[in-house]
Amino acid sequence: MVEIKTILFPVDFTEASSRVAGYAKALAQSFGAKLYVLFVVEDLSKFAGFYVPHTALEKMEKELFEGAQKKMNAFIEDNLADLEGVEPIIAVGDAAEKICETAKEKGADLIVIGTHGRKGLEKALFGSVAEKVVKTAPCPVLTVNPFQKG
């Protein structure tokens, strides 16, 4: 029998993440599972060659990390406050890679991820995170279209 004791829920703090939170919460409650909520700060070092001083990128990354911690606290308060066993995680790196890496590290039995996050130019530059996660995850992935009626 399949047991789901640990769920990883990657977020990007958009409306889409808030809509998917209900699914992650319901699954965690139904299975009595621990819920890890992950936000990945993009690694800006890949832009170091664009005439931006490395120290400026480090400072920006630090500010993004600190801002992410505040947004994470607010996100959990707004969407998952009454759920026990929620653990926030902030990581730095490529979003899809960090999601899969964190799933492996935490022994996730399931990843719950929204199918919509980035749009337009951001999606063209960074690609679909959900698609990459589905292809490389160490465990099953539940993708949720946050804008479908249901």
CA 43 – CA 21 distance, rounded (Å): 25
User: What's the confidence (pLDDT) of residue 43?
Assistant: 72
CA 41 – CA 142 distance, rounded (Å): 22
Nearest alpha-carbon partner for 11 in 130, 131, 147? 130
pTM equals 0.86
In a domain? residue 45: yes
In the chain, beta strands by DSSP E: 6-10, 34-41, 86-92, 110-114, 141-144
CA 120 – CA 24 distance, rounded (Å): 26
Whether 6 and 112 have beta carbons less than 8 Å apart is answered as no
In a domain? residue 149: no
The number of distinct structural domains making up the chain is 1
CA 25 – CA 111 distance, rounded (Å): 12
pLDDT tens, position by position, 57-95: 677 777 888 889 999 999 999 999 999 989 999 998 899
In a domain? residue 85: yes
In a domain? residue 150: no
Domain span including residue 22? 6-144
In a domain? residue 44: yes
Q: Indicate which CATH number applies to the domain containing 65.
A: 3.40.50.620
**Sequence-ordered list of residues with C-beta below 8 angstroms from that of 96, at least 6 positions apart, any chain:** 127, 129, 132, 133, 136
Angle made by CA atoms 105, 35, 70, in degrees to the nearest 5: 95
Each of the 150 residues of the chain gets a pLDDT tens digit; together they read 789 999 999 999 988 899 999 999 999 999 999 999 999 987 766 655 555 565 666 777 778 888 899 999 999 999 999 999 899 999 988 999 999 999 999 999 999 999 875 555 555 444 588 889 999 999 999 999 888 765
